[in-house]
Amino acid sequence: MRICFLLKVRPEKVEEYKARHAQIWPEMLEALSLSGWRNYSIFLGPDGLLVGYLEADDFEKCRAAMKTYAVNARWQAEMSTFFEGMPGEADDNMHPLEEVFHLD
């Protein structure tokens, strides 16, 4: 299944957010992979609009699996100040958009 979601990065934090993602911790990358996240991409506009895309067999299971990794809790804590209007962790606010077309 393909998943696309939107989040909002604080505009004043866009450059720092990009810099942090240029150096994602190796253990975070491993946890994502082991949890079933595939073909994961993040796109970010200059206004802070974030578009995430990934492929997974079961997105809810993938998110639940990530919560079992200590590295995810550390990453979420560090990244929490980057987002606007979001209660809790970013992972909990990834609400998949409905796919209405796919060129296959």
User: What is the residue extent of each domain of the chain?
Assistant: 2-93
Which of 2, 18, 21, 61 is the catalytic position?
A: 21
62 neighbors 36 (Cβ within 8 angstroms): yes
Domain 2-93 has CATH 3.30.70.100: yes
Is 21 considered catalytic here? yes
Task: Provide the pLDDT for residue 3.
Answer: 97
Q: Which element (helix H / strand E) includes 6?
A: strand 2-8
Distances 28 to 10, 11, 32, 76 between C-alpha atoms, Å: 23, 25, 6, 11
pTM as predicted: 0.90
Neighbouring residues of 15: CB distance < 8 A, sequence distance ≥ 6: none
- For 19-74, the pLDDT digits (tens) are 999 999 999 999 999 999 999 999 999 999 999 999 999 999 999 999 999 999 99
